[in-house]
A = this chain, B = another copy of it.
Amino acid sequence: MDVATIIGILLGFTVVFGAIVSGGGWQIFFNLPSLAITIGGMLCATLIHFSLPQFLGIFSVVKKTIVAKIPPPSELIQRMVNYAAINRRDGALALEQEIGNVGDLFFVKGLQMLVDGQDPEAIRELMGLEIQNLQGRHSTGKKILEFMGAAAPAFGMIGTLIGLVQMLRSLESPESIGAGMATALLTTFYGALAANLIFLPLAGKLGIYSKAESTAKEMIVEGIHAIAKGDNPTTVREKMQAFISQGRREEVKANI
Contact = CB atoms under 8 A, between A and B. Distances in A.
Interface residues of A, number: 83
B48 A5 contact: yes
Nearest to A144: B204
Contact of A159 (B19, B52, B165): B19
Interface of A: 2-5, 7-9, 11-12, 15-16, 18-20, 22-24, 28-29, 33, 36-37, 40-41, 44-52, 54-55, 126, 129-130, 133, 136, 147, 151, 154-155, 157-159, 161-166, 168-171, 175, 177-179, 181-182, 185-186, 188-189, 192-193, 195-198, 200-202, 204-205, 208, 212, 245-247
Contacts of A200: 45, 49
Contacts of A28: 165-166, 169
Number of copies: 5
By secondary structure, the A interface counts as: helix
A205 B168 contact: no
